[in-house]
Amino acid sequence: MKNALAAACFVLLSTGCGFQLRGAADLPFESIHVPGAGGIALALKRSIHAGSRTRVVDDPKLAQAQLDVTFEARQKDILSLTAEGRVREFHLVYRVGFRVHDAKGGEFLEPVVLQVARDMTYSEAQLLAKEAEEQALYRDMQSDMVQQIMRRLASAKPPRPAAR
């Protein structure tokens, strides 16, 4: 009885506050070309295909828009040291630059640079585990980055026709 009452309260409260599960992204173009076969480009193709009505096409001539990843960079900085001068924590940064344009060069989105970061503790005694943790954190950051890019794509505006 208590569980049913709690569930009913959650439904009423969540519908009243505007809460909504993530659904399909409503992108302002019917087709898009994303050059590249690995890294963030592959993850973006999968996300666009699975999470929107927009078609991902292989030929840029058939695309209404093109998403160009201008750069993708990982950075690893020392965040703190032990009293003996050994690394205690790392600061991991993942940056992606991209732009979205049409075949005529009109910009759906101005060039954008996004960044996500995570902190990671480190221990030489657990070297293999920490390397695996670092790779998992970079995968997680890439997933976050794809979601941020998808939100930017959903807010893109069609380019204005060139003035004559």
Encode pLDDT of 33-56 as tens digits: 999 988 899 999 999 999 999 999
**Is residue 2 situated within a structural domain?**
no
Least confident of 7-11, 33-37, 95-99, 135-139: 7-11
Number of domains forming the structure of the chain: 1
**Is residue 4 situated within a structural domain?**
no
**Is residue 159 situated within a structural domain?**
no
CA end-to-end span of the chain, whole Å?
Answer: 69
The answer for residues whose C-beta is within 8 angstroms of residue 94's C-beta and 6 or more apart is 73, 74, 75, 115, 116, 117, 138, 141, 142, 145
**Is residue 7 situated within a structural domain?**
no
Pairing outcome for strands 31-33 and 55-56: parallel
**Is residue 164 situated within a structural domain?**
no
Using one digit for the tens of pLDDT, what is the confidence trace for 65-119?
999 999 999 999 999 999 999 999 999 999 999 999 998 888 998 899 999 999 9
* Residue 142 structural domain: 24-154
> Does pTM surpass 0.85?
no
**Is residue 142 situated within a structural domain?**
yes
**Is residue 1 situated within a structural domain?**
no
Burial class (CB within 10 angstroms; exposed 0-12, middle 13-18, buried 19+) of 8? exposed
**Is residue 79 situated within a structural domain?**
yes
Look up the CATH number of the domain holding residue 145.
3.30.160.150
Greatest alpha-carbon pair distance for the chain in Å reads 69
